[in-house]
A = this chain, B = another copy of it.
Amino acid sequence: MSDTVEAWIEELLKSDGAGAKMTEKQARIVQSAIEVFAEKGYAASSTSEIAQRAGVAEGTIFRHYKTKKDLLFAIVAPAMTKLLAPFVLRGFHKVLDTEYESYDQVLRAMIENRIEFLRKHRNILKILLQEIPFHPEMQERFQRDVLGLVLERLRKLVAKFQDKGQMAELPSSTVVRLSVSAIMGYVAVRTVYGEREDAVWDDDFEREETIRFVMRGLGLA
């Protein structure tokens, strides 16, 4: 499963928005831009530094991206696609619908998926989170494509479990919110504390307790 998804995404990466293949320089520009944007924030990043890190001339950036903003969007737009990919891909989709027998399996899968995603795309995610508030186009697209789609799908998934007789009393959107909050809280703290050497953070324990907490909270255990 993951292989399929990732392969699909890799392909995404290899082409620019117009579908054309990226040259090697273009790829280096995008890589540098991701680094610099993540480090300093979009507004505080200079195209000249990006060019320098990419080892290309200043002008070259503007041959590929008409403006600095275009470069940002060229990074962020595919990121959004990738964010929701696991939830809309046909293959994965089917899995979602059928494979999980109990809700805690869903939660566990979501956690693993998000952690993996964070690990792989930390910088891009950072950029996305930082810039969304300042670009209405991005906001709109994020809310429509990502939030809307993903939540709707999760809602349906939850509804399916509810049909089976569990969590009957709560609206499915509320269930989604509560589940996602718990997972995000776990992932967030893990991201901060999980990296420390002196960590008193027992990851497996915290993860399982989080899942149990949600299950109990939803009246499933």
Q: Which of A171-221 contact B (CB under 8 A)?
A: 174, 177-178, 180-182, 184-186, 189, 206, 209-210, 213-214, 216-219
Per-position contact with B for A21-49: 1 when CB-CB < 8 Å, else 0?
A: 00000000000000000001101100000
> Are B186 and A185 in contact (CB-based, < 8 A)?
no
Nearest-CB distance from A126 to chain B (Å)? Answer: 7
Q: Residues of B contacting A40 with CB < 8 Å?
A: 43, 134
Bound: A185/B184 CA distance, A: 9
Assess whether A133 is interfacial by the CB under 8 Å rule: yes
Interface majority SS (helix, strand, loop, mixed), chain A: helix
Copies in the complex: 4
Q: Residues of B contacting A216 with CB < 8 Å?
A: 216-219
Nearest-CB distance from A54 to chain B (Å)? Answer: 20
> Are B217 and A189 in contact (CB-based, < 8 A)?
no
Assess whether A130 is interfacial by the CB under 8 Å rule: yes
Bound: A186/B173 CA distance, A: 12
> Are A209 and B134 in contact (CB-based, < 8 A)?
no
Task: Output the nearest chain B residue to A185 by Cβ-Cβ distance.
Answer: B181
Q: Residues of B contacting A209 with CB < 8 Å?
A: 170, 174, 178
Q: Residues of B contacting A182 with CB < 8 Å?
A: 178, 181-182, 185, 217
Give residues in A with beta carbon < 8 Å to B: 40-41, 43-44, 126, 130, 133-134, 170, 174, 177-178, 180-182, 184-186, 189, 206, 209-210, 213-214, 216-219
